[in-house]
Amino acid sequence: MTKQKALLIIKPDGVARGLCGAILKRFEQVGLTIIGLKFGMADEKTVVAHYPETDVWFEKVGQRTLTNYAEKSLDTKGIFKTDNAVEIGKTVKKWLIDYFQESPVLCVVVEGYNVIEIVRKLSGNTIPLLATPGTIRGDFSHDTIDLANEQNRPLRNIIHASDTVEDGEKEVRLWFKPEELFSSVRTDEKIMFKK
């Protein structure tokens, strides 16, 4: 088995609330290695490229919103002026671009075995209200889709974490140059993995 990489981005709300140290600690404690860090303002070109520009992605995001609204008997036309999933997805992407550029973000590349499963588990459900206590989103946020949409913004959910190995590789290449990554072996790997 080979190690994999994942991109984590502590979003503007996580940075502004001073949660970077508490969040990074969780990933290091579980045995992942931080191999890259960047702190600063995200440029629009990178953020636009980070989120797919396909109708499939827009449909997925929009459908999630439509499903959430239907479960709560809310009308999407009141907020989005449409019930078309693709159009809703496009609006959400615009909100995400604005959100990522509000204030600084901390971009982190972590490496380890089964890294995607680990970062997703530690991050928790992307809807903070549904995130399990003990996860980053479960402990540090309780935002909801309907409240966010009512305020014409995306969910403030503290952190982005790559959700597939392929996305992790693509996102790491987008946000980091190869010379900005420093792979190393943790001294405790011998104990954790009996190497």
The helix or strand, by DSSP H or E, that contains position 168, with its residue range, turns out to be helix 165-175
- Whether residue 190 is predicted with pLDDT greater than 80 in this model: the reply is no
The predicted structure's pLDDT at residue 75: 84
> By mean pLDDT, which of 54-58, 77-81, 191-195 is the weakest?
191-195
CA–chain centroid gap for 105, Å, is: 11
Select the more confidently predicted residue: 79 or 111: 111
Percentage of residues in the chain with pLDDT exceeding 70? 99
Q: How confident is the model at residue 195 (pLDDT cuts 50, 70, 90)?
A: low
Which domains, and CATH codes, for the chain?
Answer: 1-41+104-146+155-195 (3.30.70.141), 47-102 (no CATH)
Query: What would the DSSP string read from start to end of 27-87?
Result: HHHTT-EEEEEEEEPPPHHHHHHHS--SHHHHHHHHHHHHHHHHHTT--HHHHHS---HHH
Distance CA 146, CA 153 (A): 10
Per-residue model confidence as pLDDT tens digits over 148-165? 888 999 999 999 999 999
Band of pLDDT at residue 4, cut at 50, 70 and 90: very high
Q: What residues does 39 pair with on adjacent strands?
A: 106
Let me know the angle formed at the C-alpha of 174 by 184 and 144, rounded to the nearest 5 degrees: 100
Crossing angle of helices 165-175/115-123, nearest 10°?
A: 80
Report the distance separating Cα 158 and Cα 100, nearest Å.
11
d(CA 171, CA 193): 27
- pLDDT average, residue stretch 68-86: 89
User: What is the rounded CA–CA span in Å between residue 49 and residue 96?
Assistant: 12
Pairing mode, strands 33-40 and 159-161: unpaired
Across residues 9-23, what is the average pLDDT? 98
Average pLDDT over residues 80-93: 95
What is this structure's pTM?
0.91
Range 21-49 average pLDDT:
97
Predicted pLDDT at 112: 95
Active site residues: 160
pLDDT tens digits, one per residue of 126-144: 999 999 999 999 999 999 8
Mean pLDDT of 64-89: 90
pLDDT at 149: 84
- Mean pLDDT, the chain, integer: 94
